[in-house]
Amino acid sequence: MKKLINIPNDVVDEMIDGYVKAHPKLVRKLNENKRSIVIASETRENKVGVLIGGGSGHEPAFMGYVGKGMADGVAVGNIFASPPPDPIVAATKAIDKGNGVVYIYGNYAGDLMNFGMAAELAELEEDIDIEFVVVNDDVASAPNNEKEKRRGIAGEFFVTKVAGAAAEKGYSLKEVAEVARQTNNVTRTMGVGLSPCYLPQTNEPSFTLENNEMEIGLGHHGEPGVEKGELQEADRVADRLVQDILNDITISKGNKVAVLVNGLGSTTKMELYIVFRRVEQILAEKSIEIYRSYVGNYSTSLEMGGCSVTLTKLDDELTELIDAEANCPMYAQL
């Protein structure tokens, strides 16, 4: 796999350097830690901070979502690896305005450990109150009665969106965390993998599929899915993804949803809109209203081929927060 890089082990730091130089009015890198990025503008006193983070390679997640109306800071890990505690603590201190910080991250062992350690250090060193929101929207990764084992994937975008809007509106620390957890609880994602990604350090595929194969439920890091099979037409794939979601969460006639059709890296916008077309048809047939739709690369895996579908069931409060403005280097809703 051909890549436009220099030294493989330097890709993350060079990406961050280019990113903050390209968007100096929106984000800045902390002098205290080169893996900590925070919003460039000064946020108001007593605003609850929102901190996200995870491994690189998922861009625009996670660092692309630092900005007004979204996250105040991000801790950046190596490719597909959790950030260590140090950049998490540095970003926490930088964004705390006196009312605490909400940590939002996916349900992975490294993130659970490192964000937990960082919270202990932040509370010990600076007396900063921390709340945790662990995202676990991936339907394929565990059965419904074991949701605590599920991975966090593209649904983290909606959780961050809601938390950032709530913090901007002046919600308290516990209120921001609670509405973010509520969003996670009503968010489900199912994905399909078509082709692997290649890590810069190894240039080896993250998994293998035959040319005529696809894998339903494949994880963002190449974790095994629930079913391998022959590549099907886009409509049939969308049918399967949406039906698995609707089998897992009750979304009834007259309900409103936010929909994300997310590309995993190399899948074209043409393909994603073809998938969205079928998702809209399925939901319309069930009299489920799509209140807002998002189509594109929101949480990728380098150049992996495939996509995921995310549905978030909306009530009045979540509708208002999903609607709120946001302005980040890699995402804007104005």
Cβ atoms of 166 and 176 closer than 8 Å: yes
Cβ atoms of 60 and 301 closer than 8 Å: no
- What Cα–Cα distance (Å) separates residue 325 from each residue in 32, 262, 313? 30, 20, 20
Q: Which listed residue (23, 29, 35, 58) is catalytic?
A: 58
DSSP 218-242: --TTS---SEEEE---HHHHHHHHH
Cβ atoms of 301 and 221 closer than 8 Å: yes
Q: Which listed residue (151, 181, 221, 240) is catalytic?
A: 221
In DSSP terms, which residues pair with 68 in a beta bridge?
A: 327
Q: Is 221 labeled as catalytic in the residue annotation?
A: yes
Cβ atoms of 169 and 317 closer than 8 Å: no
Q: Distance between CA atoms of 148 and 209, rounded to whole angstroms?
A: 29
- Catalytic positions, written as ranges: 58, 221
